[in-house]
């Protein structure tokens, strides 16, 4: 995997070595898995989060898309950890686009990230 010229160093790093990419290892807690797909935008995202009590203790993603999209997935999923799943709706695609320097023509891909995080936030709470 390589990122073509024109990507920032931060995007390159997150694309080449996304620490939250892959599957969740086995462990305690409830697992929420969501998916968002937009093939016309060149983006697919699956997010899995392990929730203990009301906190995401671990999160991972699997994705297909351009380096900007993969970098955005990494940042968004990393920021889930330590928070309640319901806070995933606070994701702001425009802020992430600015942070990563995502060009306007790729902004629609960040809406796929938003769709996945909204689905995660809408997951029913654990039964008691």
CB 66 within 8 A of CB 106: yes
Q: Does residue 72 contact residue 116 with C-beta atoms inside 8 Å? A: no
The answer to the question of residue 128 being in a domain is no
| Backbone φ, ψ for residue 127 (5° rounding) | -70, 145
Mean of the pLDDT values across residues 51-61? 96
What is the band of 4 on the pLDDT scale with cuts at 50, 70, 90? low
Q: Is 90 a domain residue?
A: yes
Q: Does residue 56 lie in a domain region? A: yes
35 within a domain of the structure (yes/no): yes
Q: What is the CA radius of gyration of the chain?
A: 14
Residues with Cβ < 8 Å from 77, sequence gap 6 or more?
20, 47, 59, 60, 61
- Taking the C-alpha atoms of residue 77 and residue 113, their distance in angstroms, rounded to an integer, is 9
State the pTM of this model: 0.91
- Residue range 62-83, pLDDT digits in tens: 999 999 999 999 999 999 999 9
Cβ atoms of 109 and 41 within 8 Å: the answer is yes
Model confidence pLDDT, tens digit, residues 30-43: 999 999 999 999 99
Return the CATH number at 82.
Answer: 3.90.1010.10
105 lies in some domain: yes
- Residue 33 has phi, psi (to 5 degrees) of -125, 130
Q: Is residue 8, in this structure, part of any structural domain at all?
A: no
- Domain total of the chain: 1
CA distance 15 to 126: 33
């Amino acid at each position: 995997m390589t990122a073509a010229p024109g990507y920032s160093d931060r995007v390159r790093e997150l694309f080449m070595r996304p620490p939250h990419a892959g599957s969740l290892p086995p462990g305690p807690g409830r697992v929420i898995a969501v998916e968002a797909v937009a093939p016309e935008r060149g983006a697919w995202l699956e997010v899995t989060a392990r929730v203990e009590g009301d906190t995401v203790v671990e999160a991972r993603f699997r994705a297909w898309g351009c380096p900007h999209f993969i970098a955005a997935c990494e940042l968004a999923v990393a920021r889930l950890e330590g928070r309640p799943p319901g806070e995933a709706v606070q994701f702001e695609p425009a802020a992430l686009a600015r942070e990563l320097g995502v060009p306007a023509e790729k902004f629609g891909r960040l809406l796929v990230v938003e769709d996945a995080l909204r689905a995660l936030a809408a997951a029913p709470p654990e039964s008691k």
